[in-house]
Chain A
């Protein structure tokens, strides 16, 4: 704008130019090309080089840190008006929706495989002819513990399927469900604490939430180790392992991100950020956490139990 005095301060805010976006794009490019080169090397039996991806990750992290710090400072300085705050809310909401659709792709794959592909391969229905012709010995079951061609995709010994409600006492995913659902409640308590301006409570509940997230992740790692070493259930043990690991794996990745984000909110709470009517960083983190929680409920039902 040629002259700022013409501007209605209460309505419009346009941030100054900044170096963050273009450097973030550059960092992302470094990260993914490095990763692609590494994966291709691995595939071709060459020991891959992580260096470029690491540099990319450092650039991305540094830019994100600076960018978020800048936004927090601007908000603290009172630069963010009501309109911009509302834009942030819309942005976070639709970002979470896009994440929902990302998981929808994998859930869709799971449903399609279970409802159509495996029965057809097992010889059921109109399309069963081909399955019968290719692998007559293959039986349609879920979980698939015996693959159509076990020479290429080695059969998993066992699946992660639920042993029945009565036996959940010794079933790790059940405990993970309880932990994540509890963490959704604890972060809600943290929100209440912000609203009643009780800083110590806020810090306490955030810390509890972070700890619950970390416990969840440790148990997930435990489960993966169990799957790989004891059950023979791996990424390359056929479609059950593929769907299991991609769904729980991306969920676990999101829990990792969510835990980190809440950890950042914890630090900010300790530093004295947030007030009852100005806590978007916290609120968006909590929405993200609830989303991760809901995805887990879907996973527990469709990957483990049903």
Chain B
């Protein structure tokens, strides 16, 4: 029963979680829901990863060896969709669920039942999406960006299921974001002013605003697709006065903020881990907050840099080129601050720190290739080549994904009360680090030389780079299965962890015992100055 209200007759049964499967189906607890999100995203990560390995297997050598081009298209499409909407985003929401109530000193999320709904929509939505692969005519085969008319006039019938799956995912994200905003703005402990909030909370607050602003636009885009397909409207058909290019504008108005949705919480995570293991305050907390806000604002006015070659007026190309380059300024501030935080710190290199440092270095590489792509005339050469593939995988894999892995190593003692095996963690890091670079670094070269993306076959000149890439992909893929082993081993037989699991860790969550109690704070905690800006 509702714990608060029935204080008078709570008698013998302690209000822990219910037993068995129903605990997970009916839960309103932010930790249970966070756990569900994290395991769901890990499952999706493995499924999307298998698809990536199918792609890399086919591309191991030139020529068609294993799969049909049609199936190859379905693999690239679903790999992208599953990784973006099924792996990265739910993982961040899972971390938000686990961490935000603890970090702001709340007992739970603001709207716990809606929180459960946000999660449980996802398994249904993704079952729908993955089931399209087995439908007549195959699954979505038009790329994760689903440009019209490939996704309308020429799409397989299964696109209708895909459209509704996207609607459901959008609803889930919007409800999740509303919950996060309400929690952050309304549930903070007394004394936790906005400018004392931990960086992860700040970045998620801004990310939630981005989600609420752009997920409905995505819903509008797929709705127009639905109408073009089934009701013969002409939004994306020039014969009726519409324009397929308009689809790209609407998609990227969603899509560009979307890529920041996948990186801003990563900035927050790294801003916790680096100060902890450098044993210093985060350098430039205030500028970090303003940098994230600036990046979020700029994300709304740069979208057309994804479509420089589509035939835009020159004024549009210039505007989007310069606005895109502006993003380098707040991003540079952040990288500068992380490095300054490490400067003359008493650094140690535990697994989360290794992933965080790799994040700073490799994300910066991805950011710099993004600056190259921002230059309109140069983009005419890079567009739709493997250079683009290398660019966004550098920001998403050693960027977003490394930050998630770092967060798991960093906070798993808090979640489970057990410490992971440090040498296994380090092994996982080095395998991942080597794997990711061997996979994606050569793709810069094949892309600059002109290898197009989303094609199952290629010219002989690209053979060596592709072979290296495929080998790297398998190293990376299997090292994530190893990660699963490390996690299970930690949960089953890790050494007990202290409340403050890391020597330099700051923040309210570390004032709780490990594992954290089922409801984080029963009383609003006192926000001490030495715990803030962790």
What is A's interface to B at a CB cutoff of 8 Å? Answer: 1-9, 11-22, 24-26, 28-29, 32-33, 35-36, 39-40, 42-44, 67, 74, 77-79, 81, 83-84, 86-88, 90-91, 94-95, 97-106, 108-109, 112-113, 116-118, 120-121, 125-127, 134-135, 144, 147-149, 152-153, 235-236, 238-243, 245-246
| A242-B182 in contact (CB<8A) | no
| A15-B113 in contact (CB<8A) | yes
Within 8 A of A (CB), among B113-149: 113-114, 116-117, 120-121, 123-125, 127-128
CA distance in complex: A104, B300 (Å): 13
| CB within 8 Å for A29 and B242 given contacts A11-B524, A14-B108, A43-B157 | no
| A152-B240 in contact (CB<8A) | yes
| B3-A102 in contact (CB<8A) | no
| B233-A235 in contact (CB<8A) | yes
Say how far B113's CB is from chain A's closest CB, in angstroms: 6
List 15 contacting pairs A-B, 8 Å CB cutoff, sorted by A: A1-B518, A1-B519, A2-B517, A4-B4, A18-B113, A36-B160, A39-B226, A87-B183, A91-B179, A100-B216, A101-B214, A104-B217, A105-B216, A105-B224, A239-B241
| CB within 8 Å for A7 and B235 given contacts A94-B181, A112-B249 | no
| B113-A21 in contact (CB<8A) | yes
Say how far A163's CB is from chain B's closest CB, in angstroms: 22
Nearest-CB residue, chain A, relative to B157:
A40
| CB within 8 Å for A109 and B216 given contacts A22-B120, A95-B178, A239-B234 | no
| A39-B230 in contact (CB<8A) | yes
User: Does B161 reach chain A (CB closer than 8 Å)?
Assistant: yes
Q: Residues of B contacting A78 with CB < 8 Å?
A: 5
Say how far B271's CB is from chain A's closest CB, in angstroms: 25
| CB within 8 Å for A5 and B7 given contacts A83-B187, A148-B240, A152-B240 | yes
Q: Residues of B contacting A113 with CB < 8 Å?
A: 241-243, 246
User: Does B28 reach chain A (CB closer than 8 Å)?
Assistant: yes
What is B's interface to A at a CB cutoff of 8 Å? Answer: 1-7, 10, 14-16, 18, 22-23, 25-29, 106-108, 110-114, 116-117, 120-121, 123-125, 127-128, 157, 160-161, 163-165, 167-168, 171, 174, 177-179, 181-183, 185-187, 212-217, 219-221, 223-224, 226-227, 229-235, 237-243, 246, 249-250, 253, 311, 313-314, 517-519, 521-524
Q: Residues of B contacting A1 with CB < 8 Å?
A: 3, 15, 107, 517-519, 522
CA distance in complex: A4, B13 (Å): 11
| A43-B230 in contact (CB<8A) | yes
CA distance in complex: A242, B242 (Å): 9
| B10-A3 in contact (CB<8A) | yes
Q: Residues of A contacting B238 with CB < 8 Å?
A: 117, 121, 134, 148
Q: Residues of B contacting A42 with CB < 8 Å?
A: 230
Say how far A45's CB is from chain B's closest CB, in angstroms: 12
CA distance in complex: A161, B212 (Å): 33
Q: Residues of A contacting B168 with CB < 8 Å?
A: 28-29, 32
| B217-A236 in contact (CB<8A) | no
CA distance in complex: A233, B375 (Å): 44
Known pairs A87-B186, A112-B243, A113-B242; list 14 more (Cβ under 8 Å): A1-B522, A7-B7, A9-B4, A25-B124, A29-B127, A40-B157, A74-B2, A83-B187, A97-B212, A98-B216, A100-B216, A105-B220, A117-B238, A117-B243
| CB within 8 Å for A117 and B246 given contacts A1-B519, A21-B113, A99-B216 | yes
| CB within 8 Å for A117 and B242 given contacts A13-B5, A108-B253 | yes
Q: Which of B2, B14, B186, B313 contacts A126 (CB 8 A)?
A: B313
| A153-B160 in contact (CB<8A) | no
Q: Residues of B contacting A118 with CB < 8 Å?
A: 241
Q: Residues of A contacting B110 with CB < 8 Å?
A: 83-84, 87, 90-91
Say how far B343's CB is from chain A's closest CB, in angstroms: 40
Q: Residues of B contacting A135 with CB < 8 Å?
A: 239
Say how far B359's CB is from chain A's closest CB, in angstroms: 30
Q: Residues of A contacting B221 with CB < 8 Å?
A: 105
| A238-B216 in contact (CB<8A) | no
Q: Residues of A contacting B524 with CB < 8 Å?
A: 8, 11
Q: Which of A4, A40, A95, A235 contacts B232 (CB 8 A)?
A: A235
| A246-B26 in contact (CB<8A) | no
Say how far A151's CB is from chain B's closest CB, in angstroms: 8
| A83-B235 in contact (CB<8A) | no
6 residue pairs, one from A and one from B, having the closest CB atoms: A105-B220, A239-B241, A236-B232, A21-B117, A153-B240, A149-B239
| CB within 8 Å for A33 and B114 given contacts A90-B185, A153-B239 | no
CA distance in complex: A136, B108 (Å): 63
Q: Residues of B contacting A88 with CB < 8 Å?
A: 111
Q: Residues of B contacting A144 with CB < 8 Å?
A: 241
CA distance in complex: A238, B240 (Å): 4
| B14-A236 in contact (CB<8A) | no
CA distance in complex: A281, B123 (Å): 31
CA distance in complex: A16, B524 (Å): 20
Q: Residues of A contacting B27 with CB < 8 Å?
A: 17
| B10-A14 in contact (CB<8A) | no
CA distance in complex: A21, B216 (Å): 21
| A28-B124 in contact (CB<8A) | yes
Nearest-CB residue, chain B, relative to A120:
B243
| B239-A94 in contact (CB<8A) | no
Say how far B446's CB is from chain A's closest CB, in angstroms: 32
Q: Which of A12, A17, A126, A153 has the most CB of B within 10 A?
A: A17
| CB within 8 Å for A90 and B178 given contacts A25-B121, A29-B128, A148-B240 | yes
